[in-house]
Every structure is written in structure tokens, then in C-alpha cells.
Amino acid sequence: MEFLTKVSIPAPGFLIEPMEEMLFTGSCFADAIGHRFVEEQFRAVVNPFGVMYNPASILHTVERTDATPRTAVFTLGTNHVYILNETGKIVDNCQKRPQRLFTEKELSIDECFDYLERAFLSLQKRRDDVRLVITVSPIRYAKYGYHGSRLSKAVLLLAADRLVKKFPDVCYYFPAYEIMNDELRDYRFYKPDMLHPSNQAVEYIWQQFHDNLLSDAARQFIAEYQPIKKAFAHRPFNPEAEEYKLFIQKAEEDFKALKEKYAEFLK
């Protein structure tokens, strides 16, 4: 008997290598997955100007950063944007200013696609071998109403699909939204607000990302790094003890040897 709907994850046209240069920008879900890559020693930049919920703000991040990633990950949260009435421009953060200063707008599929394409092409100009993973955040937005939140996600899904179809060899859609809503639909996989994925759910989605988008070398690198990672995380009773200093010295030597072993991926 099957007690869940297993989401099929298509094979990507590219794989992520050990310690790869990466850029994560988008919703707080991008933060959660991006920081997992940072923890595993990938050269990842994660939301350098804060969380960005919509495609226009993702473009703004790409335009402001000088990152040249081999792999970029865009996580789309909503198609709602806020326009500052004084300038007529979309803002990335309202900075808790009065709502009367802004006009809320819903981006169309065409507008979302245009912002995403411009962001990708901007990265491609900096590095012609850049690849893009695009995903839609599973986090629901209660303030739009649950029907409105699903409509917003539908717009993002259609825009993402169009982008992947235009650049099929270098753009890939990862189904985080579908995994959360089909495989992990039980409320035990949500935080107490019943909107955000729990730590367990994020870990499960990370594992699917790990298993499907990382190369054999990248997965092996992570496996070999785990005992070193645990050593660095160890908190001794006496940090000044000679035994602990030798323990950390050994961990640092092991880490240096590991990076030398995978040095070809740092070029």
C-alpha cells in the first residue's frame, strides 16, 4: 500500500559539483536551502540584500550583486509587488513604512517571465556557462487568502515553466512546491503557524535536492566532509586544553587535505 503521493523529479540537464560557486536569491525558502549549501562548504552567496519574494526583486538582487555563479537558484514566493507612489518603482522592502505610501500590484505571467529572463540573461553575460535552478516556494501567504495565495503560485509556476522551456539545457525546475503539497501535505510537516515548512520538511526537500541535482563527486565530498564538520562543531568543556587544541588541529589538517583532493573543482 502507498500512503503518500511520491513526486517524480525529472533528471536535470546538468549537475552541481563540489564547492561550486552558487547564488541563491528569493524567498526565505531560498535562505533555508542556500545555507545548507554554505554549511557543506559550497561557495554560495545567499540573499545578499535580504529575502526577495517576487521576480522583480530577484532581478534587483542580480543587478546589484557582482556574483558570477556557476549555478543560480531562484525561489519564487509571490507575484505581488509594492510600488512606491512617490517614484512609481517597485520596492524590495517596505521597511515598515505606512501602507498609504505604496500601491500593491499583482504581476502577470508575462511580467514575471520578463523579470526572470532578464535576471538570468544578466548572469549569463557575466558567465556564459551559468545554469539556473528555479523553484516556487511552498510557503503560503495567508494575508492574500488561501485561494489568492494559490492563484499567485499558479502565476509563478507558469512563468517558471515558460523560462525552462525557453532555456531547456541550462534552466531546470525543481518541484519543491509539489513535494511540500503532495508528499508532505500533513500538518506535522509545518511549523506552529501552519504556513511555513518545519525543519524536518526543509531537511527532506534538501535531501531530494541533494540526491537529484548533485554530482557523484559533490555527494562524495559532502560525505567525506561530515566527520570534519562534526569536529568543528564540537564544544569542549575546556577550549584551552592541549587535547582539544590537537583535536582541532587534526580537523583543520583533514579539511585542508579534503580541499586539496577536490582542488580541480575550485578552478
> Domain tally for the chain?
2
Look at residue 9 and tell me if it is in a domain: no
Give the pTM: 0.93
Look at residue 165 and tell me if it is in a domain: yes
Tell whether 159 and 236 lie within a shared domain: no
Look at residue 4 and tell me if it is in a domain: no
pLDDT of residue 1: 67
Burial 112-141 (b: 16+ CB within 10 A, else e): bbbbbbebbeebbeeeeebbbbbbbbbbbb
Tell whether 129 and 169 lie within a shared domain: yes
pLDDT of residue 194: 84
pLDDT along the chain (267 residues), means of 10: 82 96 92 93 96 96 96 96 95 88 96 98 97 92 84 96 97 95 87 86 94 97 96 88 90 96 91
Distance CA 5, CA 55 (A): 29
Look at residue 194 and tell me if it is in a domain: yes
Look at residue 61 and tell me if it is in a domain: yes
Tell whether 207 and 227 lie within a shared domain: no
Look at residue 255 and tell me if it is in a domain: yes
Look at residue 96 and tell me if it is in a domain: no
The CATH number that applies at residue 158 is: 3.40.50.1110
Q: Give the domain range for residue 260.
A: 222-266
| pLDDT tens-digit readout, 70-91 | 999 999 999 999 999 999 999 9
Of the candidates 88, 81, 75, 167, the one whose C-alpha atom is nearest the C-alpha of residue 120 is 167
Tell whether 121 and 42 lie within a shared domain: yes
Tell whether 40 and 147 lie within a shared domain: yes
Burial 81-101 (b: 16+ CB within 10 A, else e): bbbeeeeeebbbeeeeeeeee
Tell whether 52 and 166 lie within a shared domain: yes
Distance CA 243, CA 174 (A): 45
Tell whether 67 and 176 lie within a shared domain: yes
Tell whether 245 and 181 lie within a shared domain: no
Tell whether 161 and 112 lie within a shared domain: yes
Tell whether 64 and 167 lie within a shared domain: yes
Tell whether 124 and 231 lie within a shared domain: no
pLDDT of residue 93: 87
Tell whether 47 and 167 lie within a shared domain: yes
Of the candidates 23, 34, 30, 38, the one whose C-alpha atom is nearest the C-alpha of residue 68 is 23
Look at residue 10 and tell me if it is in a domain: no
